[in-house]
Amino acid sequence: MDPGFITLMRKLAPDLIDEITRRALILERIAALQPVGRRQLAARLNLPEREIRNTAAILKDLGYIELDASGMSLSGKAEEVLETARAFSKAMSGLTEMEQKLSELLPADRVLIAPGNADEDTQVLSDVGRICAGHLRSLLQNGNTLAVTGGRTIAAVARSLQSPTPLNVMVVPARGGLGRSVELQANTLAEEIAGKLGGHYRLIHLPDTMDAAAMQEMLKLPEVSEAMELLERADVILHGIGTASEMMKERRVSHSTQTRLIQAGAKGESFGAYYDLNGQCLLESNSVGVDLARLKPTCRMVAAAAGASKAEAIISILRHTHHALLVTDQGAAERIMEILNH
């Protein structure tokens, strides 16, 4: 949204802009949480329930929301104003300006920020997924290859992904299997995303970590070699970002290696490799999956990560590899700004 328009609104209608902002915010939050009760929404927004009730009544009279026993939901008419309401709410909260600043401070062409902090509100992760899904679709073209990792944030992207018309893309897992829930595995999410887009998929039926000799043997299998070749030709890679400490535990890194990495300043993990705050790789990946050094130059990286606790990890990964898009949340973004402006 044009910053000049916001400035004009503040000057011409200072008595109205707070009310417009409240209506836009409540409409946007109902869209994210629907169906939602007034008391629940008031708690989410830290607003008096009376304000929610009064604003909801106005939005209902305008035909933008519907109320029933399950709570408030958007009407079909709301679609005509929803995107503008989201943009207005984001601009008024300062997130639009923060997105621009972060895209200048981090090696990223574009940064998008969802309101809230996923460390405190799990719904925020769904918002990050929705935002990322909408922009991921615009990056893809017929004939592209998309590689995806696993994890909770990428699962949120997969849930929100929509494609009005089928897209002829090949989706492949960017990693082998990790010891996490099957619904969060890269294989599972690659299949789900391909289904949502109307494309095709290939799977990697291998554990994430293998020794070199075993890996060479597996690469002789046609289905494995095909998937690995597709990875090298990926046009877009969608991945999550892990904090080094959590991922070392999940990947069962030896105690001695954990100690060495922590002492060296490890902050973030991506594709099985660990990085410090300057983007320096401290431990190369020994995993089945994407080899960043072998990607084609035109491959676009898309990262989705949320929560203030992920701030240092996000910085470490983006400082190592330029990204076309970073989707994060307000909690992480504010913490990143503090660190980078320190």
SS (H, E, C) 4-15: HHHHHHHHHCHH
Q: What is the mean pLDDT of residues 283-295?
A: 74
Name the average pLDDT for the chain. Answer: 88
- Residues 91, 3 contacting (CB under 8 angstroms): yes
Q: What is the mean pLDDT of residues 93-119?
A: 93
Q: What is the mean pLDDT of residues 318-334?
A: 97
340: left (phi over 0), alpha (psi -120 to 50) or beta: alpha
Best CA proximity match to 244, nearest among 321, 184, 309, 301: 309
Q: Torsion over CA of 168, 174, 178 and 182, rounded to 10 degrees?
A: -10
Of residues 180 and 102, more confidently modeled: 102
CATH topology of domain 95-340: Rossmann fold (3.40.50)
- Calpha distance 6→193 (Å, rounded): 37
Tens of pLDDT, residue by residue over 32-85, are: 889 999 999 998 888 899 999 999 999 999 999 999 989 999 999 999 999 999
Which of 31-35, 200-204, 300-304 is modeled with the greatest confidence?
300-304
Distances (CA, A) of 66 to 37, 49, 70, 80, 239: 11, 17, 10, 15, 37
15, pLDDT greater than 80:
no
207, pLDDT greater than 80:
no
Sequence spans of domains, the chain: 3-92, 95-340
Tens of pLDDT, residue by residue over 118-162, are: 999 888 999 999 999 999 999 999 999 999 999 999 999 999 998
Peptide bond into 164 cis (omega under 30): no
Give 161-199 as a DSSP string.
---SS----EEEESB-B-SS-GGGSHHHHHHHHHHHHT-
Helix (H) or strand (E) holding 200: strand 200-201
- Residues 247, 270 contacting (CB under 8 angstroms): no
Tokens of 171: 């989706």
Share of the chain above pLDDT 70, in %: 90
pTM of the model: 0.84
Report residue 218's pLDDT band, with 50, 70 and 90 as the boundaries. low
Residue type, 85: A
Best CA proximity match to 263, nearest among 282, 281, 286: 282
Best CA proximity match to 270, nearest among 316, 204, 226: 316
SS3 73: strand
282, pLDDT greater than 80:
yes
Between 1.10.10.10, 3.90.700.10, 3.40.50.1100, 3.20.20.70, what CATH number should domain 3-92 receive? 1.10.10.10
Sheet arrangement for strand 281-283: 242-243, 266-270, 273-276, 281-283
Report residue 220's pLDDT band, with 50, 70 and 90 as the boundaries. low
Best CA proximity match to 171, nearest among 237, 80, 121: 237
Q: Give me the residues paired with residue 73 across strands.
A: 66
Distances (CA, A) of 98 to 101, 103, 218, 232, 278: 5, 9, 46, 34, 21
